[in-house]
Amino acid sequence: MQALKDRIRRDGRNLGNGILKVDGFINHQVDPVLMYEAGREFARLFAHVSATKILTAEISGIAPAVTTGIHMNLPVVYARKHKPVTMPDQVLLTLAPSHTKGRMVELIVSPEYLANGERVLIIDDFLASGATILGLVRLAEAAGARIVGIGALIEKTFEEGRKRLEPLGVPIHSLVAIQSMEGDQIIFA
């Protein structure tokens, strides 16, 4: 997606250690027009998978997941990182490493929003090592749902997360692929 690539070139920052700062338009401040267009593109790419629900992780995956949901007319569920008092005692829970937080984080979903037989499309901000997305896969599978596709705004191909996800046998699409981040450079695939 050219508009996303252009925005990364203009406003993205390579912080080193494989961390790409996109806080000004995805992770902290959101560009709704850019996310709307990303959602439209994901809807086009995944139109054939017959998803019944979209799943993401809070917080950065919410914007692209919601705009995809708008275009596909699907509800969006996001895995919480902290269990609120409004959530039932019995939850779906897994752990996933967070590259930016430098520790393991919980991913929690209420079973009332992710059910047996659902056809789940995962949409997230990044596909890097694949660890967060695999955590979302575990949550969906624990609910008896089936993963039908995986989409990411930005893929860092050098972290090889796609290789970890390919055994799932579902379509995997990223809107922008980055092949390396050396020094202060961001090299697109």
- Per-residue pLDDT tens over the stretch 8-65: 999 999 998 889 999 999 999 999 999 999 999 999 999 999 999 999 999 899 999 9
141: pLDDT strictly greater than 70: yes
Query: What pLDDT, on a 0 to 100 scale, did the predictor assign at position 30?
Result: 97
Work out the average pLDDT over 122-134. Answer: 96
Domains of the chain: 2-188 (3.40.50.2020)
Q: What is the pLDDT of residues 67-76, one digit of tens each?
A: 999 999 999 9
167: pLDDT strictly greater than 70: yes
Residue 100: band (very low, low, confident or very high) from pLDDT cuts 50, 70, 90: low
% of the chain beyond a pLDDT of 90: 80
Please give, one letter per residue, the 3-state secondary structure of the chain. Answer: CHHHHHHHHHHCEECCCCCEECHHHHHCCCCHHHHHHHHHHHHHHCHHHCCCEEEEECCCCHHHHHHHHHHHCCCEEEEECCCCCCCCCCCEEEEEEECCCCEEEEEEECCCCCCCCCEEEEEEEEECCCHHHHHHHHHHHHHCCEEEEEEEEEEEHHHCHHHHHHHHCCCEEEEEEEEECCCCCCEEC
98: pLDDT strictly greater than 90: no
Query: What pLDDT, on a 0 to 100 scale, did the predictor assign at position 43?
Result: 98
Rounded to two decimals, the pTM is 0.94
Average pLDDT value for the chain: 93
Query: What pLDDT, on a 0 to 100 scale, did the predictor assign at position 149?
Result: 98
Would you call 81 exposed, middle or buried from its count of C-beta atoms within 10 A (0-12, 13-18, 19+)? middle
